[in-house]
């Protein structure tokens, strides 16, 4: 857990609040709809209570973010998770929220990148500039974030995966719909840099730089009034590799789980046998089985 001394957004030196990277309500929803314990792929043997958080922002900046987060929760996240709607009208509050989320994740990843020399100098300098632009926008010091793009990709039920047979066996429905994760990636050859956040199948991808092969169709969120649908979205992108990586990480975590933990899971499922159909993961299991048969 990072313990910063100054607020990462406004720079004031004060007592900092524990800020979640991915909003708390995502974890709350995950827990409420889970059949068993929530596990983290870093350490699958210990059930977790909460998602990643750090002492990062002062109270004022937390307040600045929270109204936009509520807007996202009420207008997109919950209606989508409850399967009430797949079409969403939005205004500039969505763009602000997405910026605040990717900015938090990028800010912390940059601390890691600078300590550990993870990326090359071109990518690093570009990301530093993007972090600053987003911070200034979030503080209402500028009205745009330049060429940075936000995309939302809804992980809907997939019947077939073309060109990526590996993914089919990796239980993508169960993993993506029951997952929370956020991190920054860099494809330095293509010059495609971004932050990807999975909120139970709602994927936010913020692109700081976009290589020439990237194609994003019906996914972009604009800075203003717009419309997005969880339907007919298509991506041709290096981000596809990140989807596969997320699945593989989850797979190796479940492989590394101790026999005792595996036994506990089976016991829990047996105890709930009669009600399994009532949990959202049941449909994910069916979808994954269908996909794997193909
Ligand atoms: Zn602050």
Distance from residue 64's CA to the centre of ligand 1 (Å): 9
* 267 token code pair: 């016991």
CA distance linking residue 48 with residue 36, whole number of Å? 11
Strands 149-154 and 87-90: unpaired
pLDDT at 264: 83
* Inter-residue contact 178 to 158 (CB < 8 Å): no
C-alpha span between 105 and 117 (Å, rounded): 17
Count of residues for the chain? Answer: 294
Distance 100 CA to ligand 1 centre (A): 13
- CA atoms within 13 Å, Cβ hemisphere of 253: 19
Question: Which 8-state DSSP code applies to residue 3?
Answer: B
- What pLDDT does 46 receive? 66
Among 214, 207, 215, 209, CA closest to 233: 215
Residues 194, 208: contact at Cβ < 8 Å? Answer: yes
Q: Is 194 helix (H, G, I), strand (E, B) or coil?
A: strand
Q: How far does the centroid of ligand 1 lie from the alpha carbon of residue 9, in Å?
A: 5
- Ligand 1 center from residue 134 Cα (angstroms): 14
223 CA distance to ligand 1 centroid (A)?
23
**Residue 221 Cα to ligand 1 middle (Å):** 26
d(CA 66, ligand 1 centre) in Å = 13
| 193, β-bridge pairs | 186, 209
Q: How far is the CA of 79 from the centre of ligand 1 (A)?
A: 31
Distance 140 CA to ligand 1 centre (A): 13
Contact of 166 with 180, CB cutoff 8 Å: no
Residues 6+ apart with CB under 8 A from 217: 232, 233, 234, 235
Q: Ligand 1: distance of its center to the CA of 60 in Å?
A: 6
Return the pLDDT at 45: 66
Q: How far is the CA of 6 from the centre of ligand 1 (A)?
A: 8
CA of 287 to the centre of ligand 1 (A): 44
pLDDT of amino acid 125: 96
- Residue 30 has a pLDDT of 86
Tell how far the Cα of 22 is from the centroid of ligand 1, in angstroms: 18
Distance 103 CA to ligand 1 centre (A): 14
d(CA 184, CA 123): 11
The pLDDT of residue 164: 63
For residue 222, the CA-to-ligand 1 centroid distance in Å is: 26
Neighbours of ion ligand 1 (CB under 5 A): 7, 9-10, 58, 61
pLDDT in tens for each of the 294 residues of the chain? Answer: 777 889 999 999 999 998 888 988 898 888 888 877 767 776 676 666 677 888 999 999 999 999 999 999 999 999 999 999 999 999 999 999 999 999 999 999 999 999 888 899 999 999 999 999 999 999 999 999 999 999 999 998 877 766 666 788 888 998 899 889 999 999 999 999 999 999 999 999 999 999 999 999 999 999 999 999 999 999 999 999 999 998 998 888 778 888 888 888 888 878 887 887 888 888 888 888 888 886
CA of residue 7 to ligand 1 center, whole Å = 5
Q: How many CA atoms lie within 13 A of 189 on its CB side?
A: 2
Distance 52 CA to ligand 1 centre (A): 19
What is the SS3 assignment for 239?
A: helix
């Amino acid at each position: 857990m990072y313990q910063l001394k100054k607020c990462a957004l406004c720079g004031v030196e004060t007592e900092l609040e524990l800020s979640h990277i991915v909003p708390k309500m995502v974890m709350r929803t995950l827990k409420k709809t889970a059949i068993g314990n929530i596990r983290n792929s870093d350490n699958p043997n210990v059930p977790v209570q909460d998602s990643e958080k750090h002492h990062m922002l002062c109270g004022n900046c937390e307040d600045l973010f929270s109204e936009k987060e509520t807007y996202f929760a009420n207008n997109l996240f919950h209606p989508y998770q409850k399967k009430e709607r797949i079409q969403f009208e939005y205004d500039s509050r969505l763009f602000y929220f997405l910026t605040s989320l990717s900015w938090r994740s990028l800010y912390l990843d940059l601390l890691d990148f600078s300590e550990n020399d993870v990326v090359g100098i071109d990518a690093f300098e570009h990301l530093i500039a993007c972090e600053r632009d987003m911070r200034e926008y979030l503080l209402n010091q500028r009205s745009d974030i330049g060429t940075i793009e936000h995309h939302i990709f809804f992980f809907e039920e997939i019947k077939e995966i073309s060109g990526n047979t590996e993914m089919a066996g990796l239980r993508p429905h169960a993993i993506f719909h029951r997952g929370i994760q956020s991190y920054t990636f860099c494809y330095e050859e293509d010059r495609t840099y971004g932050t990807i956040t999975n909120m139970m199948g709602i994927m936010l991808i913020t692109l700081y730089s976009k290589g020439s092969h990237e194609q994003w169709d019906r996914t972009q969120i604009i800075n203003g009034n717009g419309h997005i649908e969880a339907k007919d979205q298509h991506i041709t992108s290096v981000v596809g590799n990140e989807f596969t990586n997320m699945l593989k990480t989850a797979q190796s975590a479940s492989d590394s789980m101790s026999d005792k933990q595996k036994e506990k899971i089976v016991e829990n499922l047996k105890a709930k046998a009669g009600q399994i159909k009532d949990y959202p993961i049941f449909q994910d299991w069916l979808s994954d089985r269908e996909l794997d048969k193909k």
